[in-house]
Amino acid sequence: MSAIKLHLEMAERDALERYAESLHVSPEDVLYCALNRLLLNARDPAVQQDIVETKSWRRDNLPLWSDSAASIHAYECKDCDEPVPSRYM
d(CA 34, CA 19): 13
- Per residue in 47-67, is it b (16+ CB within 10 Å) or e — as a string? eeeeeeeeeeeeeeebeeebb
At position 35, the amino acid (one-letter code) is L
Compute, in degrees rounded to 10, the torsion defined by CA atoms 73, 79, 81, 83: 30
Over residues 7-55, the pLDDT tens digits come to: 998 989 999 999 999 999 999 999 999 999 999 999 999 999 999 999 9
pLDDT tier for residue 83 given thresholds of 50, 70 and 90: low
Q: Report whether pLDDT(70) > 60.
A: no
pLDDT of the residue at 58:
85
The distance from CA 58 to its chain's CA centroid, rounded to whole angstroms, is 10
